[in-house]
């Protein structure tokens, strides 16, 4: 059970980092990763989740400390970023995100509208 919770926390952090990058957070580094690099490599995939993320995007995603990033998911972030798309990109980068998982103020829905990968 501990392994499942740890993986869920890691996944949630990646989602948060993708959201922050999409919002254009100005800090260069956050939670161990480079926001500028993540924004450059992943923004187009969050905007259009029908595209498969590049190896560079997934590499940038995996550099972040997942536990740290969930601290930045606020109700404001969830209104500004398409969370479903961020989850789809994270999943395409090989992460498992379970329905019902909570990261900050966001909960992954049971059946998001665009859940096809």
Strand blocks (E) in the chain: 29-30, 33-34, 102-103, 106-107
Please give the C-alpha separations between residue 85 and each of 15, 32, 51, 111, 116, in angstroms, as whole numbers: 9, 23, 11, 13, 11
At residue 9, the pLDDT reads: 47
The reply to whether the predicted model has a pTM over 0.85 is: no
* 23 touches 70 (CB < 8 A): no
Q: What is the DSSP letter of 28?
A: S
Q: What is the pLDDT along the chain (117 residues), one digit of tens a residue?
A: 444 444 554 555 566 666 666 655 545 777 888 878 878 898 899 889 899 999 999 998 888 766 677 777 788 878 877 878 888 888 898 877 788 888 888 888 886 555 554
């Amino acid at each position: 059970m501990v392994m499942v919770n740890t993986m869920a926390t890691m996944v949630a952090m990646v989602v948060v980092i993708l959201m922050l990058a999409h919002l254009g957070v100005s800090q260069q580094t956050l939670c161990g990763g480079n926001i500028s690099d993540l924004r450059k490599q992943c923004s187009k995939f969050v905007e259009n989740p029908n595209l498969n993320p590049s190896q560079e995007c997934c590499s940038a995603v995996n550099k972040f400390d997942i536990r740290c990033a969930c601290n930045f998911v606020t109700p404001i972030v969830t209104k500004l970023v398409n969370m479903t798309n961020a989850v789809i990109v994270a999943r395409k980068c090989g992460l498992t995100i379970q329905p019902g998982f909570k990261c900050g103020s966001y909960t992954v829905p049971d059946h998001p509208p665009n859940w096809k990968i």
